[in-house]
């Protein structure tokens, strides 16, 4: 039991640092950079960028055919071989860049990309290439057990983007989509160089090119590649389908992009959790009790965060959108409100997804994702022509909750995960009081909306502590 508490305490402390860093950096990027760029360039121009961005993301599996997850597990299980793994995987990733570029351009012609699309496509491709290398380099910190480095450097790329693009926006006062793309590229190059410098003293950095080794790595990572491909398809088709199905010069894609960018930003919480959880889960696969304890702790934290975010965005959707983007239409508010209800499912799904990745039980997960793709595509074809961006938002909600429930049921069946009565009752109490408090504030309280949210959050933290849902002692007790 002492081991469980020590492990959970370490996990929570690193999560606390991770959240603190990203709560400073990511909101600054969203509010001060991304939202301002979208407001300056307009819905149509940003909608086009968003559509091409999602198109390039569909091929992300080529850049990282499961290598990130495979590498995290491999190093966590055999840290002494990290230098050998690095040279082979780095060489393979460079070869994959060429394949990625060829396929992205090859498939762009049949779907009808025009001259304006091709003027932006190379730069957006570079962003994804650099993101892939940045994530791969950073994954070594958590995989080697240096979780504090993973936590501290998780927001470095966005911090550099705030500085570089912020200079363009607020000092130089000149911005367009091309400069926005170049700013992201510059920040990602600097982040990669920083990670290389930090890793140089810990592992031997070299690159080994081998087609034979590339085939071996792809064969080993193929199941992970399918996971990434299927996840990308059912979460990223919406923006591209909006731009392709509707003849409104990408306006609806721009409306959807405003809300989806905030959903993306919120979901970084779950993704960052996953970056720490995956190597920890991989080490505990043969220790069911400790694994179940860590899963329960991660679920509690994500549940609490996701519940508060969803309720805030539902009851204060107008205020949040106006704060971030300035003027909005009723369609903007509705799309945002609907989309953010999907955050609850997206966030908690990260816990169970990590379980399957860590255990390499991917066949059932991939089948579930294939069903998610079919559901997402079918609903988009049905709802987008009728309801535009709102139809895409409804599709996202349906897909996310169906896939999440499938993961939950599979996790209970395959891993025998158990939640204590205290956890389950705590969830019920927080849901009930959360809805009651936000509803009462919306109807009867006339304070500033930010003050109302802060008061409710303080009360919810106190309530979660009283019912034993959040155990603050894990932050403060020293391990022996």
- Point out the least confidently predicted range of 25-34, 149-158, 311-320, 460-469: 149-158
Backbone angles phi, psi at 145, to 5 degrees: 85, 5
Q: What pLDDT, in 10s, does the model give residues 263-285? A: 888 887 777 777 777 777 877 77
Buried b (16+ CB within 10 A) or exposed e, 353-379: bbbbbbbeebeebbebbebbbebbbeb
- The residues, ordered by sequence, that sit 6+ positions from 432 with a Cβ below 8 Å of its Cβ are none
Structure tokens at 452: 């109302």
pLDDT at 12 over 80: no
What is the chain's Cα-based Rg? 22
Return d(Cα 387, Cα 290) in angstroms, integer. 47
Q: Are 325 and 319 spatial neighbours (Cβ–Cβ below 8 Å)?
A: no
Return d(Cα 195, Cα 415) in angstroms, integer. 35
Return d(Cα 468, Cα 460) in angstroms, integer. 12
Return d(Cα 296, Cα 417) in angstroms, integer. 8
What distances in angstroms separate CA 31 from CA 164, 311, 324, 350, 422, one per listed residue?
Answer: 15, 20, 5, 25, 37
E strand segments, 156-285: none
Q: What is the pLDDT of residue 372?
A: 92
Q: Are 356 and 413 spatial neighbours (Cβ–Cβ below 8 Å)?
A: no
Other C-beta atoms lying within 10 Å of the C-beta of residue 255 = 27
pLDDT band at 72; cut points 50, 70, 90: low
Q: What is the pLDDT of residue 279?
A: 74
Q: Does 258 or 234 have the greater pLDDT score?
A: 258
pLDDT band at 6; cut points 50, 70, 90: low
Return d(Cα 440, Cα 231) in angstroms, integer. 38
Which residue is listed with tokens 């019912």? 467
Return d(Cα 223, Cα 215) in angstroms, integer. 14
Return d(Cα 136, Cα 91) in angstroms, integer. 12
Q: Are 442 and 315 spatial neighbours (Cβ–Cβ below 8 Å)?
A: yes
- The total number of residues shown for the chain amounts to 480
Q: What is the pLDDT of residue 341?
A: 94
Q: What is the pLDDT of residue 197?
A: 85
Q: Are 257 and 46 spatial neighbours (Cβ–Cβ below 8 Å)?
A: yes
- Point out the least confidently predicted range of 83-97, 207-221, 402-416, 450-464: 207-221
pLDDT band at 229; cut points 50, 70, 90: confident
Mean pLDDT for the chain overall: 83
pLDDT at 477 over 60: no
pLDDT at 162 over 90: yes
- The residues, ordered by sequence, that sit 6+ positions from 92 with a Cβ below 8 Å of its Cβ are 67, 210, 213, 214, 217, 218
Task: Identify the DSSP state of 201.
Answer: T
pLDDT at 419 over 50: yes
Q: What is the pLDDT of residue 8?
A: 54
Give the up-direction half-sphere exposure of residue 428: CA atoms within 13 A in the CB hemisphere: 6
Q: What is the pLDDT of residue 13?
A: 64
Mean pLDDT for the stretch of residues 26-30: 83
Other C-beta atoms lying within 10 Å of the C-beta of residue 17 = 15
Which residue is listed with tokens 């209970």? 412
pLDDT band at 403; cut points 50, 70, 90: very high
Per domain, the residue ranges of the chain are 2-419
Q: What is the pLDDT of residue 480?
A: 40
pLDDT at 479 over 50: no
pLDDT band at 343; cut points 50, 70, 90: very high
pLDDT at 71 over 70: no
pLDDT at 143 over 90: no
Q: What pLDDT, in 10s, does the model give residues 302-318? A: 899 899 999 999 999 99
pLDDT at 396 over 70: yes
pLDDT band at 464; cut points 50, 70, 90: confident
């Amino acid at each position: 039991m002492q081991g469980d508490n020590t492990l959970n305490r370490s996990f929570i402390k690193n999560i606390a640092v991770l959240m603190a860093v990203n709560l400073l950096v990511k909101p600054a990027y969203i509010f001060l950079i991304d939202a301002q760029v979208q407001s300056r360039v307009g819905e149509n121009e940003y909608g086009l960028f968003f559509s091409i961005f999602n198109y390039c993301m569909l091929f992300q599996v080529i850049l990282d055919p499961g290598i990130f997850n495979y590498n995290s597990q491999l190093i966590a299980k055999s840290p002494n071989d990290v230098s050998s793994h690095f040279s082979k995987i780095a060489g393979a990733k460079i070869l994959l860049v060429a394949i990625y570029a060829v396929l992205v351009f090859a498939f762009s012609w049949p779907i009808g990309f025009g001259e304006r699309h091709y003027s932006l496509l190379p730069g957006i491709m570079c962003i994804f290439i650099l993101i892939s290398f940045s994530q791969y380099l950073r994954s070594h910190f958590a995989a080697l057990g240096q979780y504090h480095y993973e936590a501290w450097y998780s927001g470095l790329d966005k911090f550099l983007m705030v500085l570089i693009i912020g200079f363009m926006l607020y000092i130089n006062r000149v911005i367009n989509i091309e400069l926005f793309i170049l700013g992201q590229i510059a920040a990602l190059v600097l982040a990669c160089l920083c990670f290389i410098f930090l890793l140089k003293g810990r592992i031997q950095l070299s690159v080994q090119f081998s087609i034979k080794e590339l085939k071996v790595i792809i064969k080993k990572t193929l199941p992970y590649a399918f996971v990434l491909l299927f996840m990308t398809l059912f979460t990223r088709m919406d923006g591209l389908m909006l731009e392709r199905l509707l003849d409104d010069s990408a306006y609806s894609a721009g409306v959807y992009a405003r809300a989806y960018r905030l959903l993306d930003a919120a979901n970084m919480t779950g993704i960052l959790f996953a970056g720490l959880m995956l190597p920890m889960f991989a080490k505990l696969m043969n220790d069911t009790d400790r694994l179940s304890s860590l899963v329960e702790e991660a679920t509690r934290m994500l549940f609490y965060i996701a519940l508060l975010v969803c309720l805030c965005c539902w009851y204060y959707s107008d205020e949040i959108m106006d704060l971030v983007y300035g003027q909005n239409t009723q369609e903007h508010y509705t799309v945002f409100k609907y989309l953010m209800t999907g955050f609850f499912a997206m966030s908690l799904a990260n816990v169970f997804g990590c379980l399957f990745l860590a255990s390499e039980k991917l066949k059932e997960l991939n089948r579930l994702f294939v069903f998610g793709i079919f559901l997402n595509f079918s609903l988009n074809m049905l709802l987008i022509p009728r309801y535009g961006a709102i139809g895409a938002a409804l599709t996202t909600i349906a897909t996310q909750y169906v896939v999440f429930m499938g993961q939950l049921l599979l996790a209970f069946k395959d891993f025998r995960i158990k939640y204590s009565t205290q956890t389950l009752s705590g969830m019920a109490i927080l849901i009930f009081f959360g809805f009651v408090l936000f509803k009462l504030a919306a109807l009867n309280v006339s304070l500033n909306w930010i003050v109302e949210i802060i008061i409710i959050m303080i009360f919810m933290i106190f309530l979660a502590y009283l019912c034993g849902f959040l155990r603050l002692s894990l932050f403060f007790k020293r391990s022996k």
